[in-house]
Chains A and B, each alone.
Chain A
Amino acid sequence: MTLRTEPVVVSIGPHHPSTHGVFRMRLTFDGENIVDAEPVIGYLHRGTEKLAEERQYTQVITLTDRLDYVSSMTSNQAFVLSCEKLIGLDVPDRGMYLRVIASELQRIVSHLIGVGFFLQELGGFGGTALMYAFRERERILDLFEMLCGARITVSYARIGGVFADAPADFWPALRRVLDDLPGYTDELEALVFESEIVQARTKGVSVIDPVLAVNASLTGPVLRGSGVAWDWRKAAPYDVYDRVDFDVPVGENGDNYDRFWVRIQEVRQSLRIVEQCVVQIEPGPVRATDAMLFRPPPGEAYVPTESPKGELGFYLVSDGSIAPYRCHVRAPSFINLSLFKEMLVGWKLADAIVSLGSLDFNMGEVDR
């Protein structure tokens, strides 16, 4: 006897912002297998690009904090880099080093959250790995509080450098974090990546073909997980990335496992970069100008940067006034979502959440 079956459309989400953001999936199931998938976005739309058009350049920095709220430092950096190109400012060395140190610490935070939620999304282990990751994240956020008085919405970078030099007690605290983090990274790796259960669940699942990944403009760990060694810090070094030595880890198969594996390797590379910056940094001014009000000459500027999620850039058009005429955000999370359907179709519901997590997108950036 054969059962007459028909596909079922299930709406998953919108979820609470503390997961990936207010994101909704409309999945069509045949039994437990996904036959169609459609992302529904827009629940967190705040009109950042439009708001930026009526704010001065310095004020827009506070908006960029709220784009990707788990990696504000890199968003700040991307925006001020575009502004500096537009204005034609040269940043003092110490300012650039401080920005790179802050951004790399932020990359560690972002990847720790990404990897921490990995087991959560697999549906097992309670929140063990997540809490371990959050414990380390907390220490880095304490460093941010020392630097700039806030933990999430940092607003640290300014056009022409950073707002102020690091306080004296920042450096010993950074040293302690840098000494401890490699050990914790090993712990997390032993807990997550060597577990056979995790490997059985994630290896070979939701494979993204490198050619498809490049054609879909994927960037960041999602692209590198597919084996394409593309990193804007190497391809077009900004700030002081050309003065530090680091590797670009790439995956082999482009499956869920590789995408998370690339992230945990990038944590190690970020630690390497910070170690080198701490050695190379020299006393000096941190800010090219104390000005808060800028009138860039008419023109346009775009500086691609490597945020933890991928290529983040702000395309700014100036008409000579104090506010950008147009501010377009090239948000990596949004573009990485474009292969959503290709990744999910053919897999089961339990894999869908993990595949989604492996994109490590952030709705603050997707909806803007």
Chain B
Amino acid sequence: MYGLGILKGFRVTLKNFIRKPFTVQYPEERLKQAPRFRGQEFVWYEERCTGCASCAKYCPLGIIRIVTDPDGGDEQEGGSYKIDVFDIDQGRCMYCGLCVEACPYDALHMGSTFEGAQATRADLVITMEVLKERPKHPSTWFRPQLEQAGVDPFGGAPVEWEDAGREAFAWHPKRLQAESKSGPEGSPPASAEGSPPGGGGG
């Protein structure tokens, strides 16, 4: 019978007409984001960062600017450079997350927000001072240790720099310093000889 297909189509529309809506009223209601969401508000731990500039090197757009002072750091002990400038130009960032993937010391993490409108382009550049003061809610993107720890970037507790790294960073000199101050109890230096994970090569 001609018109049967149209009637079938109307049945589909009727079924959807009486269904509960799938949409939400955005600013008031929000959908749940995935913990791996690659968002703004990069989380950066100055205690972890050695100023190696791997992130700047692997950024496809070259928007991370790092200026280090070789005389000011403690690189003799395998520590870090003194970082003078650490700027991320979020106006050109595409949130691919390669900087986070490249960071061998788990110092840089993706953020979890997406509402970062600013009045001017200059305000989109986040500086080291801003990064230091930010609440530390890292995304679990490329950070399996945070995923295993069950870190929730949306409303969970902030993650301290000691807990953000792979292999508990027992080899990290600052970690060892902190342990020697607080005493030997409660320190898990199981992999004290561990090498820096991930990173370059190839």
Whether A associates with B in a native complex is: yes
Measuring CB to CB, which residues of chain A are less than 8 angstroms from any residue of chain B?
55-56, 58-59, 62-63, 65, 128, 132, 135, 138, 142, 145-150, 153, 155, 163-164, 167, 187, 190-192, 194-197, 199, 289-295
The reply to whether B12 and A191 contact each other, CB–CB distance below 8 Å, is yes
Would you list 14 pairs from A and B whose C-beta atoms are within 8 A, ordered by A residue? A59-B98, A138-B22, A145-B37, A146-B34, A148-B38, A149-B38, A150-B38, A167-B147, A190-B5, A190-B12, A195-B5, A291-B202, A292-B101, A293-B201
Instruction: Give the docked Cα–Cα distance between A150 and B4 (Å).
Output: 42
- On whether A196 and B6 interact (CB within 8 A), knowing A59-B60, A292-B102, the answer reads yes
Complex CA–CA separation, A55 to B6 (angstroms): 53
Determine if B33 is an interface residue (Cβ-Cβ < 8 Å).
Answer: yes
Complex CA–CA separation, A65 to B38 (angstroms) = 15
Cα(A290)–Cα(B11), bound, Å: 52
8 Å CB contact of B16 from A65, A132, A197? A132
Residue of B nearest to A289 (CB): B202
Instruction: Give chain B interface residues in 21-35, CB to chain A under 8 Å.
Output: 22, 33-35
Please give the distance in Å from B140's CB to the nearest CB on chain A: 8
Give the interface centre of A142, A155, A199 by most chain B CB atoms within 10 Å: A155
Q: Tell me the smallest distance from the CB of A27 to a CB of chain B, in Å.
A: 31
Q: A135-B22, A149-B110, A196-B6 in contact; A294/B96 too (CB < 8 A)?
A: no
Contact of B9 among A56, A63, A191, A294 (CB under 8 A): A191
New A-B contacts (7) at CB < 8 Å, excluding given A59-B98, A194-B4: A132-B12, A149-B34, A149-B38, A155-B96, A190-B8, A190-B11, A194-B8
Partner of B142, one of A63, A163, A167: A163
Q: Give every chain B residue within 8 A of A295 (Cβ-Cβ).
A: 202
List of A residues within 8 angstroms of B9 by Cβ: 190-192, 194-195
Contact status A294-B202, CB under 8 Å: yes
Residue from B36, B94, B97 within 8 A of A167 (CB atoms): B36
- A48 and B52 alpha carbons, distance in the complex (Å): 29
Contacting residue for B97 out of A155, A194, A291, CB 8 A: A155
Chain A residues within 8 Å of B13, by CB? 128, 191
A68 smallest CB distance to B (angstroms)? 16
A64 to B97 alpha-carbon distance, docked (Å): 15
Q: From A60, which residue of chain B is reached at the shortest CB distance?
A: B60
Q: How far is the CB of B11 from chain A (nearest CB, A)?
A: 7
Q: Whole-angstrom distance between the alpha carbons of A16 and B139 in the complex?
A: 33
Contact B97 A196 (CB under 8 A): no
| CB-based contact A148/B96 at 8 Å | no
Q: List residues 166-202 of chain B with CB under 8 A from any CB of chain A.
A: 198-202
User: Bound state CA distance, A138 and B95, in angstroms?
Assistant: 20
Kindly list chain B residues whose C-beta atoms are within 8 Å of the C-beta of A63.
Answer: 60
B135 part of interface (Cβ distance < 8 Å):
no
A62 and B96 contact, CB distance less than 8 A:
yes
Bound-state CA distance A153–B128 (Å) is 27
Residues in B with CB closer than 8 Å to A59 are: 58, 60, 98
Most buried by B among A63, A194, A292: A292
Q: Which of B104-159 contact A (CB under 8 A)?
A: 110, 139, 141-142, 144, 147
Shortest Cβ gap from B55 to chain A (Å): 11
Partner of B36, one of A147, A191, A290, A294: A147
With the chains together, A142 CA to B35 CA distance in Å? 12
CA–CA, A62 to B58, complex, Å?
A: 12
A150 touching B5, Cβ below 8 Å: no
Q: Does the CB pair A292–B6 fall under 8 Å?
A: no
- Contact across chains for A150 and B95 when beta carbons are under 8 A apart: yes
Tell me if A292 and B202 are in contact (CB < 8 A). yes
Closest chain A residue to B16, Cβ basis = A132
Measured CA separation A58–B102 after assembly (Å): 11
Residues of A within 8 A of B98 (CB): 58-59, 62, 155, 292
Q: Is the CB of A196 within 8 A of B5?
A: yes
Identify which of B2, B36, B101, B202 gathers the most chain A CB atoms within 10 Å of its CB. Answer: B202
Quote the shortest CB–CB distance from B102 to chain A (angstroms): 6
Chain A residues whose C-beta falls within 8 Å of the C-beta of B38 in the assembled complex: 148-150
Is B78 interfacial (CB-CB < 8 Å)? Answer: no
Name the CB-closest residue of A to B144.
A164
B201 to chain A, nearest CB (A): 5
Complex Cα gap A167–B189 (Å): 28
CB distance from A347 to the nearest CB of B (A): 23
Which residues of chain A have C-beta atoms less than 8 A from B147's C-beta? 167
A153–B142 Cα distance when bound, in Å, is 16
**Bound complex: CA A352 to CA B23 (Å):** 33
Interface residue from B15, B16, B60, B198 paired with A62 (Cβ < 8 Å)? B60
Minimal beta-carbon separation of A146 from chain B (angstroms) = 4
CB distance from A231 to the nearest CB of B (A): 29
The answer, among A142, A194, A293, for a CB contact under 8 Å with B202, is A293
Instruction: Give Cα A132–Cα B14 distance, bound, in whole angstroms.
Output: 13
The chain A residue with its CB closest to the CB of B112 is A149
The residue in A149, A164, A187 that gathers the most chain B C-beta atoms within 10 A of its C-beta is A149
Min C-beta distance of A306 to chain B, whole Å: 25
